[in-house]
């Protein structure tokens, strides 16, 4: 059975490949989305990749996932550090949630060291570039398999 998974991305991530390539790499957002969809196919997941710079839209997508019991891979980007509305929406989740980051926030500026999302996530994967998303999707697939086996 193929499971639907939402890969949600917060502000500025559509600028991947051109935004601070020394920090975020040269992979474009379209390349990242293709990597996620390809990984999903290999894992028997139906992956839908979305990006928004709008906090309200991201919260709406999280509500949609909660209502439909859809797992989420989430790169909240700057919302990671201060969006309590996003955190509160994520706390209502009904399926696995993996927080991802391309870089390792703990090695960056101090304001990036705090995640308001981590406390309501199933887990966090950070610092592996685009592979962070691959690892997150693998984790989701494993969690869904465990759930199906019980």
Q: Using H for helix, E for strand and C for coil, what is the string for 101-122?
A: ECCCHHHCCHHHHCCCCHHHCC
Q: Which residue from 73, 86, 2, 76 is spatially nearest to 35, judged by alpha carbons?
A: 73
Write the DSSP symbol of residue 81: G
Query: Could you count the other beta carbons within 10 Å of the beta carbon of residue 42?
Result: 11
User: Which residues form the catalytic set?
Assistant: 24, 101
How far lies 87's CA from each of 12, 31, 57, 93, 99, in Å? Answer: 19, 28, 14, 10, 11
């Amino acid at each position: 059975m193929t499971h639907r998974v939402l890969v949600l991305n917060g502000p500025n991530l559509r600028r991947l490949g051109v935004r601070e390539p020394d920090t975020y790499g040269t992979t474009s957002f379209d390349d990242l989305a293709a990597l996620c969809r390809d990984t999903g196919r290999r894992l028997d997941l139906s992956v839908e990749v979305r990006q928004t710079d709008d906090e309200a839209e991201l919260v709406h997508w999280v509500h949609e996932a909660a209502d439909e019991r859809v797992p989420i891979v989430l790169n909240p980007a700057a919302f990671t550090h201060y969006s309590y509305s996003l955190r509160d929406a994520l706390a209502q989740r009904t399926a696995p949630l993996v927080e991802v980051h391309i870089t390792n926030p703990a090695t960056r500026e101090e304001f990036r060291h705090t995640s308001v999302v981590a406390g309501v996530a199933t887990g966090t994967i950070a610092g592996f570039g685009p592979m962070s998303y691959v690892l997150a999707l693998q984790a989701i697939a494993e969690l869904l398999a465990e759930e199906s086996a019980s």
